[in-house]
A and B are shown apart, each in its own frame.
Chain A
Amino acid sequence: MTTTVGRPGTLAATLADTEAFTDSAVNGADTAADTAADTAADTAADTAADTAADTAADTAADTAADTAADTAADTAADTAADTAADTAADTAADTAADTAADTAADTAADTAADTAADTAADTAADTAADTAADTAADTAADTAADTAADTAADTAADTAADTAADTAADTAADTAADTAADTAADATRRPTLRLRDRLVRLAELAVTPLLPSDFLDVVDPLLSGADLRGRIEAIEPETADAATITIRPGRGWRGHVPGQYVRIGVDVDGVRQWRAYSVTSPADRSDGRFTITVKAIPDGVVSNHLVREARAGTVIQLDQATGEFVLPTPAPRRLLFVTAGSGITPVMGILRSYAAELADVVVVHSAPSRADVIFGADLAELAADDRITLTTIHTDAEGLLDTERLERLVPDLAERETWACGPTGLLDLLEEHWAARGFADRIHTERFRPTIVVTGEGGRVSFTRSGTTVEADGATPILDAAEAAGVLMPSGCRMGICFGCVLPLREGAVRDLRNGELTTAVPGDGVRIQTCISAAAGACHIDH
């Protein structure tokens, strides 16, 4: 036990140690042995006496029963308590110290404490229970001569072993684990870090079962320590149905590489919806903000909300930026960007960051009409400054871009490393063409549409962890279909009220059998669904 009196930062240190301190003060190894012995002796004596008396009435003499019961109870209780306490304490301390030391060396004190506690508790409990039970049973069996004695011995041994093992193991494990973790942590940490960790630990103890971040959220949802979030600071229209949204990310934001996207969680009609949007601002923006540019699509839940309804000041959920649609270093000398519609967004992010450094850039961008061109002015300016060679195609008047035209526009296409982003049709076309020409590896594409969800009747349901796949029809709850296929499913009322059957839907679509409502999930979502009232409406991946 690390006592902390007289050390720097003692208030926090003392307080953070308090849990361990109370444990050990109240339930130290001595106390454990005492308590175990007392409890075991009492319980064992009672139980043994009762059982022995009963059995003796039928089989043995009263004396035998008394003696057997007494002896068995005493011996069993003593031995069990001693052995259990000792073994538990030793094993717990050893295991805890080892594990804690190892773990603490490279992880936080928390991890060490957890691991140590778990391992110690398990090992201690097992060993203590085994040893106690064996010893108690042996000793008792020797002393007793007949059925009464056997019964007494068994019962006494069981009870004594249980009680002693529990008390001793718990206490010893807790104390040992705490101490070991503390010591290990102390040994590997600088004092300032230790103080900070202790303050965090203290805060955790003070707000359990919540987390300190739950209370930080009340103060300011963007503080560090809270989940990553952002605040919408401005929404500026780009075209009639597209807008650029400026986001101030919370403290944990690690920035982005131009071309990457960020997943944001927006509450639309009270329901959290996650979508991906490419970052359109340059990477080195000095004020720490970043922008995304959203095009509202017909019936699009999130895009319409962001473009038309969202207001500055709204707090949104954020994920760290990610994505492979980025330029390598060093950047290729000659580049081609083929974009259409909102597909310009990641490319704009790249151009705004690197245009000055890139030597030879061709941009071929399609949009229905002049008014629909997102970033039209920015592109024109880059072209005017000779940073890029720009071709804009207005597809309403000129028709969709085809590869023949592209080859004409960019005669040296074969020598250019190409990045393309736009509707599925365009990207499929380009990939086929590049493959046909034998340089499929020189085109990089970014797709905005998630894997298209088939919302027919029924579908193949796969369970990611157990690896089982089930063919479920559209009228059978996933719960029933999965159980019929031998999957161990959580369940409760089986009628949609208890939520005992809720599992995360990683990808796919399910239909609520009660109202036909469709719930869809794209990779990364993990929408929680009630399997007992949900039927597959297409292929589903369920995390279970």
Chain B
Amino acid sequence: MTVLQKKADNPIAHLTPEDIEQIGIELDAIRQDVIDTRGARDAEYIRKVIKTQRTLEMGSRAILLVSLFPPAWVVGTVGLSIAKIIENMEIGHNVMHGQWDWMRDPKIHSTTWEWDNASPSEQWKHSHNELHHTYTNVIGKDNDLGYGIMRVDEDQRWVPMHLGQPLWNFLNACFFEYGIAAYDLELGKNLATPERRRDPEFRARAKQVLRKIRRQATKDYVIHPILSGPSFLHTIAANFTANLVRNLWTHSVIMCGHFPEGVETFERRSIVGETRGEWYLRQMLGSANISGSTAMHFMTGNLSFQIEHHLFPDLPSNRYQEIAPKVKALFDKYDLTYTTGALPVQVGSAWRKIIRLSLPNDFSVAALVRRTPTSRAAA
């Protein structure tokens, strides 16, 4: 086991290789328990969520047809924002993880699902399921660590661009769905050279994204506004607001998953030859939960159980809450830190880290004074 070993206070120094494999075995047992009891109750749950979400969306959009009237605007916008959040989080994200594939329902299946988001599901599944979930928090491998534009760990090299990262992060939050699409396209890397720009595969994917964005925008900013007749502009504003609210919310929740203080990151070479137990351990230490009410968990798509989700990304989301106590008990048994906190605390923690790391590690006013030639001259 080489993960984390270099840290001064190595959080797993007390674990023997046998302990780690035992953790794997115990987690496998928790997983198997859920699989053995997975059934009609779970199927009913996801179908009910989907039905409720669609009813809410239809209802909200119907109300927005008369968004000229302020109460209708407010009710419709709130409803649509919630509908969009549920669609992306509890439904889209989880369905695309294959959490419901066991139902063998082609309408609720990871290979057929398309979500209300700028990024086409196929591209998102690649960058999220294959890269992020496999290489969770491995610096240089998991692009979710700062999305390639931010520095969220001391071990990531500082460059002057990072000075602006509080602003980048805020902009990314507002337009998160486009951020995700650009990220799934690896836009930064693929626009860098003419060869990459011309790569037919990249072009095909870019075209796919543009087509998706065009359809999404036509729906929200053309069709529904036109259907609203005199409420045209009000409906545009309502739909824009709903997308903004959804973006800000999902961004905050996702930031809480891996950025707050206390979450560990890993070196690239530390995962070479990783065993299943070690992989589990990396997920345990690389994720953070959000505490709160059932309604809050639902609105985060149960990503508030980020630890459980990362351990078992393909178990139905409605079961995370159920297994959380068992997982927590395992953390306690092996003396590991189960990072969790209320949403405002975790969001605050993540933001503090982003602001702090926008400056170099050794940055301090004193160091700055020492380094600048003018101050030396003055001294």
A residues whose Cβ falls under 8 Å from a Cβ of B = 14-15, 18-19, 22, 121, 155, 158-159, 162, 170, 202, 205-210, 214-215, 218, 227, 267, 269-273, 492-493, 495-500, 502, 515, 527-528
Kindly count the residue-residue contacts between A and B in the assembled complex, taking CB atoms under 8 Å apart: 125
- Measured between beta carbons, the chain B residues less than 8 angstroms from A227 are 107
Q: Does B21 contact A (CB under 8 A)?
A: no
**Known: A206-B223, A209-B115, A209-B215. Contact between A498 and B129, CB under 8 A?**
yes
A18 touches B218 (CB 8 A): yes
Contacts of B116 in A (CB 8 A): 209
- Quick one: given A206-B224, A209-B114, are A270 and B40 in contact (CB under 8 Å)? yes
| 8 closest A-B pairs by CB | A270-B43, A492-B130, A499-B98, A498-B129, A209-B114, A269-B39, A272-B104, A493-B134
> B279: nearest residue on chain A (CB-CB)?
A495
| Residues of chain A contacted by B219 (CB below 8 angstroms) | 205-208
A271 touches B102 (CB 8 A): yes
Q: How far is the CA of A425 from the CA of B278 in the complex (A)?
A: 54
In contact, B223 and A202 (Cβ under 8 angstroms): yes
Chain B contacts with A in 209-248, Cβ cutoff 8 A:
210, 212, 214-216, 218-219, 222-224, 226-227
Whether the pair B38, A270 counts as a contact (CB closer than 8 A) is: yes
B125 within 8 A of A: yes
CB contacts (< 8 Å) of B54 on chain A: these are 210, 214-215, 218
Q: Which residues of B contact A155 (CB under 8 A)?
A: 194
In the complex, which residues of chain B have a beta carbon less than 8 angstroms from the beta carbon of A492?
126, 129-130, 134
Contacts of A170 in B (CB 8 A): 207, 210
- Residue-wise interface mask of B (153-173) relative to A, using a CB-CB cutoff of 8 A (1 in contact, 0 not): 000000000000000000000
11 residue pairs from A and B, CB less than 8 Å apart:
A158-B198, A162-B197, A208-B219, A209-B212, A271-B43, A493-B130, A493-B134, A496-B314, A497-B134, A499-B125, A502-B110
A15 / chain B contacts, CB cutoff of 8 Å: 223, 226-227
Q: How far is the CA of A210 from the CA of B219 in the complex (A)?
A: 11
Contact A22 B134 (CB under 8 A): no
Compute how far the CA of A502 lies from the CA of B130 in the bound complex, rounded to whole angstroms: 13
Instruction: Tell me the dominant secondary structure on chain B's binding face.
Output: helix
Q: Are A270 and B39 in contact (CB under 8 A)?
A: yes
Question: Does B133 reach chain A (CB closer than 8 Å)?
Answer: yes
- Please tell me if B261 contacts chain A, counting CB pairs below 8 Å: no
Q: Which chain A residues border B222 with CB–CB below 8 Å?
A: 18-19, 22
Nearest CB to that of B197 among chain A residues? A162
Nearest CB in chain B: distance from A155 CB, A: 8
Bound-state CA distance A159–B227 (Å) is: 41
Interface size on B, residues (CB 8 A): 53
* A158 to B198 alpha-carbon distance, docked (Å): 9
Please report which residues of chain B, range 101-130, place their CB below 8 angstroms from some CB of chain A when the two chains form the complex. Answer: 101-105, 107, 109-111, 114-116, 125-126, 129-130
> Closest CB of chain A to B147's CB: distance in Å?
19
Shortest distance between the CB of B286 and any CB in chain A (Å): 14
Given A207-B219, A209-B215, A499-B129: A218 and B55 interface contact (C-beta under 8 Å)? yes
Supply 7 further A-B pairs (C-beta < 8 A) apart from A18-B218, A227-B107, A528-B109. A215-B54, A267-B40, A492-B130, A496-B314, A498-B98, A499-B129, A528-B101
Within the assembled complex, what's the spacing in Å between the Cα atoms of A252 and B329? 53
Q: A208-B215, A215-B58, A270-B41 are in contact. Are A158 and B194 (CB under 8 A)?
A: yes
A205 to B210, CA, bound (A): 16
Q: Which of B107, B210, B215, B276 has the most CB of A within 10 A?
A: B107
Q: Do A18 and B223 form a contact, CB below 8 Å, given A209-B114, A500-B130?
A: yes
> A269 vs B98: C-alpha distance in the bound complex, in angstroms?
18
